[in-house]
Amino acid sequence: MIYLIINITIVLIILVLNIILYVRRIDKKKLVKNKTYNYAVLIPARYESKVIKNTLKYIKHQNKNMDNVYVIIESKDDPTFNIAKKIGANVFIRKKPIKHTKGYALDECLKSILNKKINYDLYFIMDADNVIGKSFFKNMKKYWLEGYEVASAYRNTSNPYKAISICSGFLFSMQSNLYNKYREIFNQPITLSGSGYYISGKIIEDYNGFPFYSLTEDFEFSICMEDDNISNIYAEDCVYYDEQPTSLKDSIKQRIRWLRGIFDNTKKRKKSASIVISNIILNMVTLLIILIIMELFIFFGIILGIVYTYLLTSLITLICLIIDRNKFNISIVQKIKCIIYNPIFLFSYIICLFALFFRKKILWDKTIHKGNE
């Protein structure tokens, strides 16, 4: 009985805290008088010759004039240069390529565009391995016309062939549908995820570029959206595909970098920490798992607790797959793999956390992409 009372009390406390956080809502929708749709596409692509052709090919299907597509590289010796030029993209070669993070690359290119007095209504931020879905730019346009200054599309995976890549892609699917969709319902700022989003030209002009240089520039900008009251939305009907790591080693390396960036930004902006803790669903699930583990450890032992937690996480994965069946479109066999391996994938965050605390210096490393058609 005492455990039931404790559980209910903690649940109520979290509910009250989240309700308080939701009182601070932002006025997301703002009417746009200017109905034009003049946009640019920015693609940081340092030594991305294996994937850039496919990415630009899909963009060209929906964007015949490629002068507005900026492929950002650091040297003409990069094979990416000739590939992008041949397809007709506008190649931007950085003048100060000392710092290799994505934020520095975007900022330098945007400053160059602003200095040339070229005016764009929107700037799409994409990665070199991204493949846009059908009618991507057309579907994103309607959110601009509704007045949203930032819109983030649904991130799917382009290589759901191995268990790691399936689970890694599913992680973003969960973020979109359990986090961003939920925050959207309650009129709360979303969290950007790597790429596949646009920023209005006005915001870029106000910031005089893209001054977000951390290991997780997307998360850093997401915090600023809340601080600066920038209207934003999760554009769930706009889809793009992203290549995921295929080995646990690469996945852990990637997630260690993310965690470092998230922790660094949370320290700098403590007042906006709610951006990562104010989701009721995730709070409730996490809380219940912790309570169950604690009680199982006390009454049934460690082994049974681990088994129970694994089964519970598998059940949550199954539910999420059912919810997301129309977007995260993979085969039955791949779904079974996801249900089996996703709990292990999520538990591996413990390894990432240990590595984070023991590694003194974590740098931004270029992700090696294999390329997909």
User: According to the model, what pLDDT value does residue 141 have?
Assistant: 92
Q: Which domains does the chain have, with CATH numbers?
A: 1-22+39-373 (3.90.550.10)
- The pTM (predicted TM-score) of the whole model is 0.82
* pLDDT, tens digit, 9 for 90 and up, residues 71-89: 999 999 999 999 999 999 9
Mean pLDDT of all residues in 235-250: 91
Beta bridge partners, 152, equal 197, 234
Is the model's pLDDT at 101 over the cut of 80? yes
Three-state SS sequence of 42-102:
EEECCCCCCCHHHHHHHHHHHCCCHHHEEEEECCCCCCHHHHHHHHCCEEEECCCCCCCCH
User: According to the model, what pLDDT value does residue 301 have?
Assistant: 61
DSSP summary character for residue 180? I
Is the model's pLDDT at 132 over the cut of 90? yes
Of the ranges 12-26, 107-121, 337-351, which is most confident?
107-121
User: According to the model, what pLDDT value does residue 279 have?
Assistant: 47
Q: What percentage of the chain's residues is helix, strand, coil (to nearest 5)?
A: 55, 10, 35
- Least Cα distance to 328 among 210, 165, 203 occurs for 165
User: According to the model, what pLDDT value does residue 23 have?
Assistant: 46
Tell me the one-letter amino acid at 352.
C
What's the Cα-to-Cα distance from 237 to each of 39, 58, 134, rounded to whole Å?
A: 19, 18, 10
User: According to the model, what pLDDT value does residue 62 have?
Assistant: 95
Q: Between residues 144 and 258, which one has the greater pLDDT? A: 144
Q: Between residues 293 and 173, which one has the greater pLDDT? A: 173
Is the model's pLDDT at 295 over the cut of 70? no
Provide the percentage of residues in the chain whose pLDDT is more than 70. Answer: 77
CA-derived radius of gyration, the chain? 21
Q: Give the chain's mean pLDDT.
A: 81
- Please tell me the distance from the alpha carbon of residue 25 to that of residue 226, in angstroms, as a whole number: 10
Mean pLDDT of all residues in 364-371: 63
User: According to the model, what pLDDT value does residue 4 have?
Assistant: 46
| In 93-154, alpha helices (H) | 102-115, 136-146
Using CA of residue 93, residue 96, residue 99, residue 105, what is the dihedral sign?
Answer: negative
User: According to the model, what pLDDT value does residue 9 have?
Assistant: 53
* Contacts for 336 with CB less than 8 Å, ≥ 6 apart: none
DSSP summary character for residue 31? -
User: According to the model, what pLDDT value does residue 24 have?
Assistant: 45
* pLDDT, tens digit, 9 for 90 and up, residues 47-65: 999 999 999 999 999 998 8
CA angle at residue 132 from 126 to 138, to 5 degrees?
Answer: 100
